[in-house]
Structure 1
Amino acid sequence: MLSYFKKSFARKRARRIFQKYGYRVDKFRLKNNEEVEYANWLNPLITPKTITQHEVDFFRQYIREGSFVVDIGANTGDLTVSMSIAAGGSGLVLALDPNPHVYAILEANAKLNEGKANIVPLQLAASDKETAFYYASSEASMSNGGLIQDLSDNRHGKYKLEDPIKGVHLGDYLLTHYAAWLPKLSLIKTDTEGLDFEVLKTLEVVLEKYHPVVISEIFHDMSAETREGIFNLFKKYNYTIVNAGFMHTEEPLVIRPVNVKEDMPKAGVTENIIAY
């Protein structure tokens, strides 16, 4: 009972009072006796991550060993690490997150699993042009939130970081800095708290030329127009789309085809689509 109250107090404090939290490195044993390390953030609002064979095998369906992966909205690396194990030490996972507090943990994860994984972390925001953003959250500990361009904007919460965050046109950034890797591009994942359509539009040249698999979050409050825009963008480049539901689960995914715009995930629930 005492432990429950301590954890409850810690969560309440994290919501209201800013504090930097460190991390611990946990080890997970996969099949073939493969060991994977993960830096779990000690923020009490974050459920500790477990690296599972199920998750690694899921990404191995789409990520070839030695291939290039782009994780947009990587957070602490909760999916990045499994992606990187799938790509192997000869591959490369580019992991972007704008939140400096989760980015510190992402950096820690990028340094683990040497020889088994290759992660390059970037504290950047994917945008339609080079610009500056600020990070805002409803939680003082900044465990989750979103980007704003005006500090008076409260859409993501009242807690804000005053240091600007660099935004880049992601398609141009990849063509400039990772042109040699683009022919090996196998997967792009986007999770940007509702800005996924804007990010995907910057990647049209990449989608058309290299046709990577895309896993994209459809945020619960996306407008019908935005959902239709995402559907039309993928169909423009001859993608097949399926609704994979909520992916942070050990349960088998229930895949539903998205043949027409009306099949897209509905408002009020956050789900993921896979386009291939």
Structure 2
Amino acid sequence: MKKIIFELYKILVKIFRNFGFQKIRGIIMIHHFINKCFKPNYVEIYGNKIFLDKKDALGLSIHKIHEPLVTDFIKKEIKEGSIVVDIGAHIGYYTLMFAKLVGENGKVFSFEPDPENFCLLKKNVEVNNYKNVVLEQKAVSDYIGKAKLYISRESSGQNTIYQIDKKQNFIEVEVINLDEYFKSFEKNIHLIKMDIEGAEYSCILGAKDIIKKNDKLKIITEFRPISLKSFGVEPVNFLKLLAELGFSIFEFCEEKQAIIPVTIKYLLNKYTIAKRNDTNLLCVKNY
């Protein structure tokens, strides 16, 4: 019966997903209740078994795919033997995909500071028997030390290094920077994927040496101006930093269902703090 109820709910969600109902507080509460009571413990996606977080933050139990344009690009881009870095790995949706694609001769470095997310990430890597993944329960920034990680009450995928409201709980987490972490690493890094709720600017600052050493590097990053601003970073400065480091910028454009070249001006006009909107960017070195 539980499975039937959830299957019916999935059908309704897919029918009404474009009507904006998911933003209404009452609908959100119903969604959380159904997830809590009826969602499966795990799903199978792209040949991987993925155990889900409590609220299924990525909606995998319903849609079986997260960020379709990014997912499709990764499936085509990542080859056997590639080296990939997944920052803000959450429960491992992308980490598992990377691990499958790079094969035994490749390597995935996966960073996730939240203990609950990390526990599921580790479980998901182990249950799929991947031996090519290095797991790190750490946040990534431009320094080495400690930081407060504020826990989101809405979604396990929205924990932040800055405080959104005074009632938020926080935990202390370890912080590293990529330049120090990979200082003795000799192989070329093909791709860095990061979704770290506004900390992307600091992460790039702490990876300048890696960026200089890897001429063919690609970065997939979230661009959400309100998160950058909450972190103390002007959105324009993040985009300028990417350009100064030699990256051409493309957008995973949902409206056009394509990856399109974009300018800094275009992004700043389309994605603003007032709109609270966001997108994913593909940054290609020496394009």
Deviation, structure 1 residue 44: 5.7
Would the aligned equivalents of 2:88 and 2:194 in 1 still touch at CA under 8 Å? Answer: yes
- Whether 1:170 and 2:178 are equivalent positions in the alignment is yes
Deviation, structure 1 residue 26: 3.2
Q: Secondary structure at the match of 2:32?
A: helix
Distance (whole Å) between structure 1 residues aligned to residue 54 and residue 142 of structure 2: 33
Question: Which amino acid is the alignment partner of residue 110 of structure 2?
Answer: A
Question: Which amino acid is the alignment partner of residue 189 of structure 2?
Answer: L
Q: Secondary structure at the match of 1:229?
A: helix
- Whether 1:26 and 2:39 are equivalent positions in the alignment is no
1:151 alignment partner in structure 2: none
- Whether 1:36 and 2:45 are equivalent positions in the alignment is no
1:155 alignment partner in structure 2: 164
Would the aligned equivalents of 1:41 and 1:48 in 2 still touch at CA under 8 Å? Answer: no
Residue of 55, 59, 83 corresponding to 1:68:
83
TM-score of the two chains, using structure 1 as the length reference: 0.75
Would the aligned equivalents of 1:14 and 1:139 in 2 still touch at CA under 8 Å? Answer: no
Distance (whole Å) between structure 2 residues aligned to residue 54 and residue 10 of structure 1: 25
Deviation, structure 1 residue 185: 1.1
Distance (whole Å) between structure 1 residues aligned to residue 170 and residue 125 of structure 2: 24
Higher share in helix: 2
Distance (whole Å) between structure 1 residues aligned to residue 170 and residue 51 of structure 2: 24
Number of positions where the alignment pairs a residue of Structure 1 with one of Structure 2: 247
TM-score of the two chains, using structure 2 as the length reference: 0.72
1:129 alignment partner in structure 2: 143
Query: What are structure 1's unaligned runs of at least 5 residues?
Result: 16-22, 149-153
- Whether 1:198 and 2:189 are equivalent positions in the alignment is no
Deviation, structure 1 residue 119: 1.9
Higher share in strand: 1
- Whether 1:241 and 2:249 are equivalent positions in the alignment is yes
Question: Which amino acid is the alignment partner of residue 116 of structure 2?
Answer: H
Would the aligned equivalents of 1:74 and 1:95 in 2 still touch at CA under 8 Å? Answer: yes
Deviation, structure 1 residue 114: 2.8
Distance (whole Å) between structure 1 residues aligned to residue 166 and residue 59 of structure 2: 21
Residue of 88, 91, 94 corresponding to 2:106:
91
Would the aligned equivalents of 1:10 and 1:44 in 2 still touch at CA under 8 Å? Answer: no
1:59 alignment partner in structure 2: 74
1:80 alignment partner in structure 2: 95
Measured against aligned partners, the alpha-carbon deviations of 1:191-217 in whole angstroms (never above 9, x if no partner) come to 110110111111111111103110011
Distance (whole Å) between structure 2 residues aligned to residue 14 and residue 57 of structure 1: 27
Deviation, structure 1 residue 13: 11
Question: Which amino acid is the alignment partner of residue 76 of structure 1?
Answer: I
Measured against aligned partners, the alpha-carbon deviations of 1:88-120 in whole angstroms (never above 9, x if no partner) come to 2321111111111111111112213336x7222
